[in-house]
């Protein structure tokens, strides 16, 4: 059964790029929203295994979304991967301080995204005492 991933990105092209990478693996069901406010509204409607969010968005930023997720007992265990066109140490530090699992600077490759997601899956499964599903043989 595919795991649900919430992709939060105001750029349609980047949202489609991330979603298509995840859906191509057939391991993830993707829910897309184009801003942080809609992400906050989507959280109660889904049992998300992961959130991928842009940093810079109107209304609610990816940093604010990450802080909300970390501060809410119901969502605290969901790993958040922050993506940004600004790869400055400042954005990286802000993301980590907010509780992001990891940070990817745009542009990134499909392999880089999937590697970060796989690390997050394994770490979260380990913390829950669950063995992650093995990767199918290629």
pLDDT in tens, 47-76: 999 999 999 998 899 999 999 999 999 999
Q: Is 132 a domain residue?
A: no
What CATH number should be reported for the domain holding residue 37?
A: 3.40.50.2300
Q: Identify whether 74 is preceded by a cis peptide bond (ω within 30 of 0).
A: no
- 102, part of any domain: yes
Q: In this structure, what DSSP letter does residue 43 have?
A: G
For the entire predicted model, the pTM comes to: 0.88
Closest to 22 (Cα-Cα) out of 114, 97, 89? 114
Please count the CA atoms within 13 angstroms of the CA of 86 that sit on its side-chain side. Answer: 13
3-state secondary structure of 81: strand
Phi and psi torsions of 104, nearest 5°: -120, 130
Q: Which has more pLDDT, 138 or 95?
A: 95
Reported confidence tier of residue 138, pLDDT bands at 50, 70, 90: very low
The Cα 19–Cα 84 span in angstroms is: 16
To the nearest 10 degrees (0 to 180), the angle between helices 89-98 and 62-71 is 20
Per the structure, how many domains does the chain have?
1
Residue 123 lies in a domain: yes
Distance CA 79, CA 70 (A): 9
Distance CA 126, CA 5 (A): 19
Which range of residues forms the domain containing residue 38? Answer: 3-127
pLDDT classification of 98: cutoffs 50, 70, 90: very high
Classify residue 137: in a domain, yes or no: no
Residue 138 lies in a domain: no
Residue 133 resides in a domain: no
The reply to whether 135 falls in a domain is no
Is residue 35 included in any domain, yes or no?
A: yes
- DSSP secondary structure code for residue 45 in this structure: G
């Amino acid at each position: 059964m595919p795991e649900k991933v919430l992709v939060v990105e105001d750029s349609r092209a980047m949202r489609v790029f991330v979603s298509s990478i995840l859906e191509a693996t057939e391991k993830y069901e993707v829910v897309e929203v184009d801003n942080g406010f809609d992400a906050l509204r989507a959280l109660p409607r889904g049992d998300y295994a992961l959130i991928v969010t842009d940093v810079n968005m109107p209304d609610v930023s990816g940093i604010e979304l990450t802080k909300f997720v970390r501060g809410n007992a119901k969502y605290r265990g969901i790993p958040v991967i922050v993506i940004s066109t600004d790869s400055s140490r400042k954005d990286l530090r802000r993301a980590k301080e907010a509780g992001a699992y990891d940070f990817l600077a745009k542009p990134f490759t499909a392999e880089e995204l999937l590697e970060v997601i796989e690390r997050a899956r394994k770490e979260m499964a380990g913390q829950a005492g669950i063995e992650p599903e093995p990767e199918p043989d290629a």
